[in-house]
Amino acid sequence: MAKYSDLRGEAVRAGDLLREVMGGGTSVLTNTQRAMRAWHDANGDIEHRHTVGVYLKEDVRQGLDPVLYVYVDSNVIMQEFNTKRPIYLARLASAGLAVSGLEFRLSRTRRDVRTASGTKAECPSRQLPKLSAEETAQIEEMAQAVPEQLRQSVLEAMILSHRKQQSNRTP
């Protein structure tokens, strides 16, 4: 992180300076806002593009960590994110957000994709190509490096990702 000097010549982190100027930074955020920040920080462009919102549901009666609900813009994305749920849970934990569960929901207020003429774009559905036995064996071999509790989910995500890559190559 970049460092600057204050008037006394002492090094100051840019983030600390911004927090001071903005009035405290994360201390004024709600738990749901902190969860949104953690989701955003832990994930990449695809998740950013398709996340419509998040909701952190806390259940103090049971003494468990809260459940994070992530609202997405399409069924396909919801299925893809569900496949990667263990990966997202690990990312959130490393970003400092402890949750007891992660649920993906289809947003009621979906974003419309518009064409250049302003009309609503239709998303054609297409079947993903099947993998050959050799491709499947290669992916299974790569997944062996993943810890046992995550292996099946990671394997399914890798297979889906490979199938999607193949479908993008074929017209």
Give the pLDDT of the chain (171 residues) as one tens digit per residue.
Answer: 444 444 444 455 555 545 555 555 445 678 888 889 999 999 988 999 999 989 999 877 778 899 999 999 999 999 999 999 999 999 999 989 999 999 999 988 755 444 444 444 444 445 778 888 998 898 888 888 878 887 887 888 888 877 877 777 655
Residue 52: CA atoms inside 13 Å, Cβ hemisphere, count? 17
- Same domain, yes or no: 110 and 146: no
The reported pLDDT for the residue numbered 109 is 73
- Same domain, yes or no: 120 and 139: no
- Within-domain flag for 11: no
Q: What share of the chain is helix, strand, coil (3-state, %, to 5)?
A: 50, 15, 35
The reported pLDDT for the residue numbered 58 is 85
Beta bridge partners of 120: 114
The reported pLDDT for the residue numbered 2 is 43
- Within-domain flag for 104: yes
- Within-domain flag for 12: no
- The identity of residue 110, as a single letter, is R
Calpha distance 60→5 (Å, rounded): 44
- Same domain, yes or no: 91 and 156: no
Which range marks the domain in which residue 142 is found?
A: 126-171
The two tokens of residue 80 are 């893809």
SS3 3: strand
- Same domain, yes or no: 116 and 134: no
What backbone phi and psi angles, to 5 degrees, belong to 21?
-70, -40
- Within-domain flag for 118: yes
- Within-domain flag for 74: yes
Number of domains the chain contains: 2
SS3 4: strand
- Within-domain flag for 40: yes
The reported pLDDT for the residue numbered 91 is 92
- Within-domain flag for 112: yes
The reported pLDDT for the residue numbered 117 is 44
Q: Contact at 8 Å (CB) between 14 and 1?
A: yes
- Same domain, yes or no: 121 and 131: no
Calpha distance 103→93 (Å, rounded): 15
**pTM for the full predicted model:** 0.51
- Within-domain flag for 8: no
